[in-house]
Chains A and B, each alone.
Chain A
Amino acid sequence: MTDDKLRTWLGAVADELIPAGEGMPAATEVGVAGGQLDLVLAVRPDLARALNRAWVLAGEYKPGPALRLLADLDPRAHQAVLEIVSGGYYTSDLVKRLLGYTGQRPVPVRPEDYPAYLAEGLLDRVVDRGPVHRDPDSLSRRQ
């Protein structure tokens, strides 16, 4: 499944999708076809079968034609390749650091004592405009 030829092909496809630029590395520079592929398939084993299909269907083609072929022939395999490549790329610590993305980390919530929307009177005006619900008993509604 994850033999060298598949990894080489996937790496070429990955760099076609996510090349270096704008201060960001190319997909293969962060191991999308190497260690990151192993990481992705470890948590998403459901993608392995579709990747194998993609390789069988389009492994003989260069990246651009391969992606177009997959989109036509097997949209699920095409989607799996996109998910594997982008999933591997955006779970890279380097990529997250370059984007300034900190992920899911605990930050204690602090209810605001006096939120800006109250200070600005935004809700006063909502209330002044009256109910937005109809009362079935009186059929009343703000016009």
Chain B
Amino acid sequence: MEHADVLVVGAGASGGVVTGALADAGFDVLCLEQGHWPDRTDFPALRPTYELEARGGWGGNPTLRGRPEDYPVNETGSDIATLMYNGVGGSMVLYAADWPRLLPSDFRTNALDGVGDDWPLTYRDLQPFYERTDRAFGVSGLAGDTSIPEGGEYPLPPLPIGDGALRMARAHDRLKWHWWPAPNAVLSRPYQGRNACAHYGSCMQGCPEGAKASTDVTHWPNAIKAGARLITGARVARILTDAKGLAVGAEYVDTEGKWHVARADVVILAANSVGTARILLNSASPRFPHGLANSSGLVGKRLMVHPFANVTGYFDEPVDAGGHVGAKIVSYEFYETDPDRDFVRGAKWSLAPTGGPLNAALPARAGNSVWGKDHHAHVRAHLGHSLSWCIFGEDLPDEGNRVEIDDSLTDSSGIPAPKVTYRVGENSRRLLDFNIERAQRSFAEAGAHRTAVESLMRFSGWHLLGTARMGDDPATSVVDGWGRAHDVPNLYLADGSVFVTSGAVNPTSTIVSLALRNTEHLIENRREQRTPR
């Protein structure tokens, strides 16, 4: 039987950061990961079938992808499909590597706007950890952005934005709207033994160059050198607790179907907001009949996924949007609440490329298909002549949006699978409609001859947040301000499940910064930590 000081479940973004920090501090850490090490030579970027594979086995939806290490999610009651990657590096392996921070107001939505709840920490509390994780992951960006205090400083210069984004920047200059070169966790220069971006444009199906940051390349090699143990192909079914109500480890199954127990003094869940809620709910016992750490009844509730709209602009002239697929430039012009609007909070815009010829023929985002005699003209008008504003709207917490355990669906190991219920709220709908109209205006100013709109993209649930919120009151939150479960003092949550509100930005930067902050607090207070021994 495996035993460790600390057991971490999940080797993704937060799992990598947590394990690295603990191993560096001398802890004996064991991590269980249901997936495997990604094989860069297997990424589809260099194959002629790249675009086809991106829609199949390299897509983000685990139910459709259906790899052995994936688990199915019942999403029939959800407006948005959840997306993730199960393996070392987690969903960072397939993310676009946009690296924004939450804004100060995101931590105070109730005090400022009367919606959501305030976080038990502030932007200032997290700022030093943002700066440290920027360096650890290798972020390229330009200091001085007026969307965050002090504008941020990055270890690497910004990636080139291309002629297309320059065109949009000039349009925003004329409109007097905010824009800034986007920070990306993609290397603009060689850094810490990793190669710079090679412009494959395949970030969301794995970076063959290793230039895109994910913990399998940024954190795990060093964590293992420091003594951390990582078992892949290890799918955790439940957290085990003792008579005192303390976590004592986890029960897991390997790829051959053999069941094991790993024991530990402290357990940290880092399995994303769907996976962590699933494990907690599946860990129900006579002592914890409604699931582990769930005396508040909030485990699984308040799921937030960022409703996502997309506006594509078409230009007569070629527009260069090559290179990394993440944001070229961003705009926070409509991020903050404006009392003159019929909604609260706002959205972040990211300018992105629109893909290759298959996507021109059969758009995965905004746009239509044209078949028959006009097909070729349609494809030529799209390919290399279009840009896309990706609009992430703030998702207000709603207890009706939730992760539960499905009555009958299981994964291939027989472990009950999650069911997601999610509906886009009225505030989100108004917010998106407003921003869509403004994005169309942005493209018109830039000279686009037409635009196409996808007002809500179903396969957009990358940002899995909430389901086990932080807070000071055990009656209204699952974990405290340091990620520790109110009900189980040696159980911690380290992923996006602890988010109190969603903000409207890509969350990975905040997830890993929060994970680092909370882990260092655990390390500093190790002598006060209750354990089963």
Mark A residues whose CB is within 8 Å of B.
Answer: 16-19, 21-24, 39-40, 43-44, 46-47, 82-83, 86-87, 89-91, 93, 95-96, 99, 101, 103-112, 115-117, 120, 122-123, 125-127, 129-136, 139, 141
Chain B minimum-CB-distance residue to A109: B197
Collect the chain B residues with CB atoms within 8 Å of residue A91's CB. 48-49, 51-52, 358
**Quick check: is B429 within 8 A (CB to CB) of the other chain?**
no
Stretch at the interface among B76-84, B145-153, B229-237: B145-153
Mark B residues whose CB is within 8 Å of A.
Answer: 45-53, 55-57, 64, 66, 103-105, 107-108, 111-112, 122-123, 140, 142, 144, 146-149, 156-161, 166, 169-170, 173, 176, 178-181, 188-189, 196-202, 209, 322-323, 332-333, 335-337, 356-358, 361-362, 369, 371-373, 375-377, 379-380, 383
CB distance from B40 to the nearest CB of A (A): 13
Instruction: Report whether B147 and A133 are in contact in the complex, using a CB–CB cutoff of 8 Å.
Output: yes
Instruction: Report whether A111 and B158 are in contact in the complex, using a CB–CB cutoff of 8 Å.
Output: yes
With A17-B371, A107-B198 as given contacts, are A43 and B52 in contact (CB-CB < 8 Å)?
yes
Collect the chain A residues with CB atoms within 8 Å of residue B197's CB. 109
Chain B minimum-CB-distance residue to A44: B56
Instruction: Report whether B357 and A99 are in contact in the complex, using a CB–CB cutoff of 8 Å.
Output: yes
Chain B minimum-CB-distance residue to A20: B376
Instruction: Report whether B50 and A132 are in contact in the complex, using a CB–CB cutoff of 8 Å.
Output: no
Q: How far is the CA of A83 from the CA of B64 in the complex (A)?
A: 15
Q: How far is the CA of A87 from the CA of B52 in the complex (A)?
A: 6
Instruction: Report whether B112 and A139 are in contact in the complex, using a CB–CB cutoff of 8 Å.
Output: yes
Collect the chain A residues with CB atoms within 8 Å of residue B142's CB. 123
Instruction: Report whether A134 and B371 are in contact in the complex, using a CB–CB cutoff of 8 Å.
Output: no
Instruction: Report whether B146 and A129 are in contact in the complex, using a CB–CB cutoff of 8 Å.
Output: yes
With A82-B362, A122-B170 as given contacts, are A133 and B161 in contact (CB-CB < 8 Å)?
no
CB distance from A103 to the nearest CB of B (A): 7
Instruction: Report whether A104 and B159 are in contact in the complex, using a CB–CB cutoff of 8 Å.
Output: no
Q: Which 4 A-B pairs have the closest CB atoms?
A: A106-B198, A22-B376, A111-B157, A107-B199
CB distance from A111 to the nearest CB of B (A): 4
Q: How far is the CA of A125 from the CA of B373 in the complex (A)?
A: 47
Collect the chain A residues with CB atoms within 8 Å of residue B108's CB. 136
Residue from the list A105, A109, A112, A117 in contact with B196, Cβ < 8 A: A109
Instruction: Report whether A16 and B336 are in contact in the complex, using a CB–CB cutoff of 8 Å.
Output: no
Collect the chain A residues with CB atoms within 8 Å of residue B49's CB. 39-40, 43, 87, 91
Q: How far is the CA of A123 from the CA of B202 in the complex (A)?
A: 29
With A22-B376, A135-B149 as given contacts, are A122 and B173 in contact (CB-CB < 8 Å)?
yes
Instruction: Report whether A103 and B48 are in contact in the complex, using a CB–CB cutoff of 8 Å.
Output: yes
Instruction: Report whether B358 and A136 are in contact in the complex, using a CB–CB cutoff of 8 Å.
Output: no
Instruction: Report whether B160 and A141 are in contact in the complex, using a CB–CB cutoff of 8 Å.
Output: no
Q: How far is the CA of A44 from the CA of B43 in the complex (A)?
A: 15
Q: How far is the CA of A136 from the CA of B125 in the complex (A)?
A: 13
Chain A minimum-CB-distance residue to B358: A90
Instruction: Report whether B375 and A101 are in contact in the complex, using a CB–CB cutoff of 8 Å.
Output: no
Complex A-B: 26 CB contacts under 8 Å: A18-B375, A19-B375, A21-B376, A43-B47, A43-B52, A44-B55, A83-B52, A86-B361, A87-B52, A90-B361, A91-B48, A104-B45, A104-B200, A107-B322, A109-B159, A109-B199, A115-B181, A116-B166, A127-B144, A127-B146, A129-B146, A129-B178, A132-B147, A133-B148, A136-B111, A136-B122
Instruction: Report whether B369 and A103 are in contact in the complex, using a CB–CB cutoff of 8 Å.
Output: no
Instruction: Report whether A115 and B357 are in contact in the complex, using a CB–CB cutoff of 8 Å.
Output: no
Collect the chain A residues with CB atoms within 8 Å of residue B361's CB. 86, 89-90
Collect the chain A residues with CB atoms within 8 Å of residue B149's CB. 131, 133, 135
With A17-B375, A109-B197, A125-B173 as given contacts, are A103 and B178 in contact (CB-CB < 8 Å)?
no
Collect the chain B residues with CB atoms within 8 Å of residue A95's CB. 357
Q: How far is the CA of A122 from the CA of B336 in the complex (A)?
A: 22
Instruction: Report whether A111 and B189 are in contact in the complex, using a CB–CB cutoff of 8 Å.
Output: yes
Instruction: Report whether B146 and A133 are in contact in the complex, using a CB–CB cutoff of 8 Å.
Output: yes
Residue from the list B53, B362, B376 in contact with A24, Cβ < 8 A: B376
Chain A minimum-CB-distance residue to B334: A132
Collect the chain B residues with CB atoms within 8 Å of residue A110's CB. 160
Residue from the list B50, B64, B169, B380 in contact with A122, Cβ < 8 A: B169
Instruction: Report whether A136 and B199 are in contact in the complex, using a CB–CB cutoff of 8 Å.
Output: no
Collect the chain A residues with CB atoms within 8 Å of residue B57's CB. 43-44, 46
CB distance from A116 to the nearest CB of B (A): 6
Instruction: Report whether A86 and B176 are in contact in the complex, using a CB–CB cutoff of 8 Å.
Output: no
CB distance from A84 to the nearest CB of B (A): 9
Chain B minimum-CB-distance residue to A87: B52
